[in-house]
Structure 1
């Protein structure tokens, strides 16, 4: 009798052990239209008709550079307007480990539309730039960056982008439009070098640059300067690259292009034409404003294949041409937003700019980018006010965090949590891995972090909850995702 009991117990123990061995241990965090905000989910509905998502970590793609947003004068100015408590809450929400833990950031070199006025660090005509100064950034931008640095335990990279050279270097002598005169190519390259030194003196290391924000221009509305692919490559190959190298700054990253994806082929063909043209380019920068829904995977793949060992970074994105909705989460989950193209795109491009759901646009684009070789994704302003500014041109936009400085109130929109699903859980040096997904209604991307953990991001844009089985090797886990939801599933090492 005793022997029979031992046998039964042994069988039970074996069954439990086998069950545990086959179960995948996961932590699931969800943001959804029904109110979840990076909420940890432990209860899952089940269904016989479930999809399957299978991870293949042995097959790797690009190495992640990071995720984050931009330090703008507008955002920094607003942080100075809110109370100390709310300022700290916002900085920690973006840069603390308990928050979004941003790892890749951008700022503007000279003024941009999200500045309070137009200015240059070298306002006086002088090729040697003897009066170069970043004094315009001392009160707002630099304190915001330094506070973020002090808050971030893991650190973050920061790259700078000029919207324009000072007007005296340009053929039209204006802030808006025009081209850099060839006689000032050397002075403009020196400008970049002096900027590195000036920020270094403030305790800030600049990781790199994009050569020019939106070299096709912006419709001649705010600060801009035009380059053709050939002109930019000439400037980088013969002036900017050699200048930084000569000044002992050859390790600084130079990203070419920095505009919409549809123009990628034309640019990378010139940038990476040969060894000489590509020598000083470390990668390509892109924006998302060509469409509210189209990812342009063919263009992204073409750019990667043209220079597979170089960066491909999404450097700017936002809900543009909209005044933010205040404390109205439902709007960010509804198909109500329009972009610049809704009113201004040519008739043959109108189809690229329909009404859209803001959360969907972010989630869809980031996952689509990760699955098409993009290694970094950077949002635009981190903080704006209820009008969508300040912006000297009144080019109102939305940021993940909105503040009312008069009432000292802060609103974390669903876009903040959407960004955090990636930035918090997919860390620099992670490797994007292969996945198989049987449900075309789900968008999925996955990456293996340096610590061995795997982060899987699942996006469900449908109006129905979905069930799926997540498999890694012999182990699996049945998971459900709410309607209109984004999940990050973390598999510990």
Structure 2
């Protein structure tokens, strides 16, 4: 009997050695998928023996930009809704966004003073001609916004960066004395710079560190619909170079990041030309902020490449994007995969520009744009509201939008839409400090891919198959390969462990 056991053991060892030899060149991966067929960041086994239609080679030795992070925005609307939910559901949402087990958001935004996704219009400096801002107070944020941020901080093991954006200064600082439109009066430039510094101090007193700022949300304005304040490129450069930058530096806040512009990509060139014209104009700008609303279909790669080449050592961060001009679908996953959603340009765009604003699936918008951005030097991508209600608000202007998480506060119900899982495909697996790496791009523009090498050596590959037809593709890293299958209308994150 002993002889039989030894023989069996030898056979087993020989078999295992043979298997090991056969798989030495097989790339080891874990695959997570979100799909129109029902997967939501689901671990899947997609190894295929079929002939691959695409051959994708990764080049980790060719490192591109360094990732700053991925995440969303803390708005008064989102924070107010969380306060209306049960503690259980509030905690569920916070954990889903910020814990390691969840999306693990690493880069976030909030608003200074009110914005359209506030319950009303307000300012931290309401007293007219208070040049030294002696009456400055963030009390408006203490009921909803600050508690949401602090709960997120408690849930985040890795921590996250938070930057703030003003939609407008107080009306008394502006040439039209209105919340909407108008320009900052030059005599208040120093007062407005002081506002940023006082904001850092006020939030620090609440236990919240501000990483940085965008100078102005949408300096072109927003059609004079809600809070806004206009700058030309040179006006913003002047304000940063001669007022905001020096003031933050003088007050001990010189480490705070300053991002210029903060609007749509089609207008990017004239802004970076002004910001980065000389060493003096560039000094206080740490990077450029962009939005996606010029078209939620087109990535604008030429503009992104131009901005990078103009200032290759500066940050380039997408600071706001959402499916706007829409009441979000409630507990209907397929709507988010269907070409039924419009954007604001659908209604107002000139006839020759309507092609930039087609009816287009919300998941497609997010997946295509994030991948396209990463493949064109963008190092951070921030969604807009984290939580909205079934109407797409609350919003004092009734500017309804979708969000990754939709809630019904009256019924205390929560709906994690496919957009939540789409964001998590990037935020959870591509971590701050990761390096985007070069790869062979597929020939089919409806099949797109990006990859980044994390600080721990793991590589995250994100693949999006927009078309309804499934396909097989071969992934090669150095001498190892694997052929994988992806269903139609599916997003996959493929994790390759460090060697």
Q: TM-score, normalised by structure 2?
A: 0.96
- Aligned partner (choices 35, 39, 48) of residue 32 of structure 1: 35
Query: Alignment partner for residue 90 of structure 1, among 84, 89, 93?
Result: 93
Provide the residue aligned with 1:170 in structure 2.
Answer: 174
**Structure 2 equivalent of residue 372 of structure 1:** 376
Deviates more, 1:439-448 or 1:67-76: 439-448
Q: Distance in 2 between matches of 1:439 and 1:131?
A: 59
Residue 5 of structure 2: aligned partner: none
Structure-2 separation of matches of 1:346 and 1:241: 38
Q: Quickly say closer, same or farther: Cα 1:50–1:172, change in 2 above 3 A.
A: same
Residue in structure 2 matched with residue 64 of structure 1 by the alignment: 67
Could you list the runs of 4 or more consecutive aligned residues of structure 1 that deviate by over 6 angstroms after TM superposition?
5-11
**5+ residue gaps in structure 2?**
1-7
Quote the Cα distance in structure 2 between the aligned partners of 1:466 and 1:91: 36
Shift of 1:476: 1.0
1:218 equivalenced with 2:222 (yes/no): yes
Determine the structure 2 residue equivalent to 1:490. Answer: 495
Helix, strand or coil at the partner of 1:397:
coil
> CA 1:87–1:12 in structure 2 vs 1: closer, same or farther (change >3 Å)?
closer
Decide whether aligned partners of structure 1 residues 387 and 13 sit closer, same or farther in structure 2, where only a CA change above 3 A counts: closer
Q: What corresponds to 1:448 in structure 2? A: 453
- Give the deviation of 1:248 after TM superposition: 0.7
- 1:22 CA displacement: 0.6
Looking at structure 2, the residues matched to 408 and 8 of structure 1 have their Cα atoms a distance apart, in angstroms, of 60
> 1:330 aligned to 328, 334, 342, which one?
334
Aligned to 1:154: 158
TM-score, length basis structure 1? 0.97
Q: Does 1:76 align with 2:88?
A: no
Contact 1:437-1:444 within 8 A present in 2 as well: yes
Aligned length: 490
Partners of 1:48 and 1:146 in 2: how far apart? 51
Offset, 1:470: 1.0
Q: Corresponding residue for 1:459? A: 464
Alignment partner of 1:247 out of 227, 244, 251: 251
CA 1:397 to 1:16, structure 2 compared with 1: closer, same or farther past 3 Å? same
| Root mean square deviation of aligned Cα | 1.6
Instruction: Report the secondary structure of 1:34's partner residue.
Output: coil
What secondary structure, in the 3-state scheme, does the structure 1 residue paired with 2:284 have?
coil
Aligned residue in 1 for 2:3 = none
Aligned residues of 1:51 and 1:437 also touching (Cα < 8 A): no
Offset from partner CA, 1:176-215 (integer Å, 9 cap, x none):
0000000000000000000000000000000000000000
**Gaps spanning 5+ residues in structure 1: where?**
none
Q: CA–CA distance in 2 between the matches of 1:108 and 1:303?
A: 25
Counterpart contact for 2:31–2:492, Cα < 8 Å: yes
Deviation at 1:11, TM superposition (A): 7.8
What SS does the aligned partner of 2:440 have?
A: strand
Deviation of 1:8 after TM superposition, in Å, equals 9.7
Distance in 1 between residues matched to 2:306 and 2:30, nearest whole Å: 36
Aligned to 1:363: 367
Residue in 1 aligned with 2:140? 136
Name 1:282's counterpart in structure 2: 286
Distance 2:17 2:221 in 1: 68
Moved more, 425-434 or 35-44: 35-44
Aligned-pair CA distance for 1:19: 1.9
Change (3 A) 1:159 1:10: closer
Is the contact between residue 442 and residue 448 of structure 2 (CA under 8 Å) also seen in structure 1? no
Contact 2:46/2:486, CA 8 A, preserved across alignment: no
Tell me if structure 2 keeps the 8 A contact 1:112–1:223. Answer: yes
> Residues of 1 paired with 2:12 and 2:87: CA distance?
62
Give distance in 1, aligned partners of 2:342 and 2:425. Answer: 24
The 8 Å contact of residues 31 and 46 in structure 2, kept in 1 or not, is answered as no
- Alpha-carbon distance between aligned partners in 2 of 1:401 and 1:323, rounded to the nearest angstrom: 13
**More divergent stretch after superposition (406-415 vs 16-25):** 16-25
SS in 1 for 2:285: coil
CA distance in 1, matches of 2:437, 2:490: 22
Q: 1:468 aligns with which of 440, 464, 473?
A: 473
Distance in 2 between the 1:19 and 1:185 partners?
A: 69
Change (3 A) 1:86 1:14: closer
Q: Do the aligned partners of 1:52 and 1:439 also contact (CA within 8 Å) in 2? A: no
Question: Relative to structure 1, is the Cα distance of residues 369 and 8 closer, same or farther in structure 2, using a 3 angstrom cutoff?
Answer: same
1:413 aligns with 2:417: yes
Partner-residue secondary structure (3-state), 2:118: coil
SS at 2:394 equivalent: coil
